[in-house]
Amino acid sequence: MSKKKIRVDVEVENPKELPQKITWDADDSREETLDTPVLHMAVWDPNSKETLLLNLWTKHMTMYDMKCFHIQILQGLGQNILRSTGDEFMSVKMGELSEVLKSYLNRISEEKSGGDGV
């Protein structure tokens, strides 16, 4: 059995403010270190039956990109629930919600600036 590691480094000046920089790398990544403006990680605690979330973002993450990021997470969760449990109902509902949110984001983006959409 082999082990793989994923490393995350977070640069902060003041612990009460947003991180200045987030970088990560993994044993299997093509590049040594990658910058990212946002990190979302979820872990399941089997004892308490709760999800523990780690959500970090820098000031470089725009609100529009943050909304796109969350819509894409929802889409991925819908695909993952289907693969991991076979639950088509939950998968479809997550997909439908992500489409509703995508349409909403596209509409408000166009109203504000004629944006590109999701």
Three-class HEC string of 68-108: HHHHHHHHHHHHHHHHHHCCHHHHHHHHHHHHHHHHHHHHH
- Structure confidence at residue 109 (pLDDT): 87
Number of Cα atoms under 13 Å in the Cβ half of residue 90: 13
Average pLDDT over residues 61-78: 96
| Residue 116 pLDDT grade (very low, low, confident, very high; cuts 50, 70, 90) | low
Average pLDDT over residues 21-42: 91
Does 118 or 37 have the greater pLDDT score?
37
What tokens appear for 79 in the block?
A: 């695909």
d(CA 3, CA 86): 28
Q: pTM for the whole thing?
A: 0.84
